[in-house]
Amino acid sequence: MATLDDFRRVADDVRNWGRWGDDDELGTLNLITAEKVAEAAATVTKGTVIPLGGDFGSSGPQGAFKFRQNPVHVMTVDGGDAETLVRYGPQWLRNAVAADVSAFFADNPFRFNDDMIVMPLQAATQWDALSHVYYEDKLYNGFPADSVTSFGAFHCGIDKVDVKGITSRGVLLDVVAHRGEDVFCRPGTPITPQELDDVAAAQGVSIGSGDVVVVHTGWWTRFLDTGDGAEPGAGLDWTCASWLHDLDVAAVAADNLMVEDPDPANGVEGTFLPMHMLCLRDMGLMLGEYWNLAGLAADCRQDGVYEFQLIAPPLKVVGAVGAPVNPIAIK
Ligand code: UVW
C-alpha cells in the first residue's frame, strides 16, 4: 500500500492549479477545444445513437449507503385526479387545495399530468463536480473549501461547466472484454495504468488531449443482475490519476459506483478515495459514475471502433456538487 508521502508527491506532480488562470473553475474541461469538438463530430459515420444513462427510479443502486437514497418519483397531477375533481370534488376542495387545477379541468376536454422527483444528485448516472471532494481546506485551483455552504457551492459547482457542453471525443476502454470476463471485473483486481495502455493498444485506439475516457468494468451489468448497490467490483487504481494527467484527458467515466477501485487495501494508507482527491481537487478532472456502458461495449466489439462523439451535459443545478446526466454516444 502507498504512503501519504507517495500520495503527496503524485498530487504535486498532477496539480493543475493556475494552469488556466487563477479564477478557472473548468479544470481539464479546458482541454476540450473547438478543434476537439469538431474531431469528435467527425467520428460519427453510422448514425448510431447509444444511450449511456441508467434508470432514475426506485430500483436504482442507492440505499446500501445510508446517506443516499434512490429517487422518489411522485405524481402531482394525473388524469385520475382530474376526473375525480370534476365529478366528485367538494366545493371546499375546489376552492382551496386544487382550485387552479379544477378550474383547468371543468367544462373543457383539456387534461394533463405533472410530477416531481426527490433525489440525491449522486443517486444514479452522474458527474461529480470539482467541488464534490476536497482535502486540507482547499477545492480545485485553491478555492477555499468553506465556499461550499448550505446555499450550495460558490466555486466549482456543476453549473459552472455548462459552457463546455459537456461534449468531446469519447474513447471506450473495454476492460471486461480485455480480461475475458463474462460480466464484470472482479473485486480486488484494480485496473492499472499499464492495463489501460494494454486495452487501448489491443483495441487499436489512441487517447489524445481533451478526450473523455470511458471505462467498461461491467459493474452496472452485474448490478442489474443482482440489484445489490453495494456489490464490490474493480475500479481504476489510484495511480491512474497520473495516467489521465499525462495524456491530458478531459474527464473520465465508468459504469461503477466511484470510478476508482473501492478497496482501501489497494489505496493510500490513511486516506479514502485518493483518486477522487487527486482528480477533483488537484487536477480539476470530473468523474462520471454509474454510466450504463453495456450497449456501447457491444457496439464497439461488433464494429471494432472504440471512438465516438460523446454528449453528456450535466443538469445545470445551481451550486450543486454533482448532477444527473443522460449521456449518449453517437457513432
Ligand atoms: C464520494 O466520493 C463520497 O462519492 P462518489 O463515489 O459518488 O464520488
For ligand 1, mutation pick of 127, 256, 257, 275 (most atoms within 8 Å of CB)? 257
Closest-CA residue to 298 (of 327, 329, 324) = 329
Residues with CB under 6 A from ligand 1: 122, 128, 132-133, 257-258, 273, 276, 289
For ligand 1, mutation pick of 131, 261, 273, 277 (most atoms within 8 Å of CB)? 273
Closest residue by Cα to atom 4, ligand 1, is 258
Atom of ligand 1 nearest to the CA of 273: 2
Atom of ligand 1 nearest to the CA of 259: 6
Closest residue by Cα to atom 5, ligand 1, is 258
- Domain boundaries 4-66+119-330, CATH class: alpha beta
What span, in angstroms and rounded, lies between the C-alpha atoms of 233 and 305? Answer: 26
Atom of ligand 1 nearest to the CA of 126: 7
Edge-to-edge strand list for the sheet holding 328-330 = 49-51, 328-330, 307-311, 167-174, 212-216, 251-254, 286-289, 126-128, 322-324
Atom of ligand 1 nearest to the CA of 258: 6
CA of 116 to the centre of ligand 1 (A): 25
Every domain of the chain and the residues it spans = 4-66+119-330, 72-118
For ligand 1, mutation pick of 238, 258, 261 (most atoms within 8 Å of CB)? 258
Position 86 scores a pLDDT of: 62
Atom of ligand 1 nearest to the CA of 287: 8
pLDDT in tens, the chain (331 residues): 899 999 999 999 999 999 999 999 999 999 999 999 999 999 999 999 999 999 999 999 998 777 899 999 999 888 777 667 666 666 666 565 555 666 666 667 777 889 999 999 999 999 999 999 999 999 999 999 999 999 999 999 999 999 999 999 999 999 999 999 999 999 999 999 999 999 999 999 999 999 999 999 999 999 999 999 999 999 999 999 999 999 999 999 999 999 999 998 899 999 999 999 999 999 999 999 999 999 999 999 999 999 999 999 999 999 999 999 999 999 9
pTM check: above 0.85: yes
Grid coordinates representing 299? 457496439
What span, in angstroms and rounded, lies between the C-alpha atoms of 190 and 215? Answer: 12
Closest residue by Cα to atom 8, ligand 1, is 258
CA of 258 to the centre of ligand 1 (A): 6
What span, in angstroms and rounded, lies between the C-alpha atoms of 252 and 286? Answer: 7
Position 111 scores a pLDDT of: 79
CA of 181 to the centre of ligand 1 (A): 26
Grid coordinates representing 216? 467498461
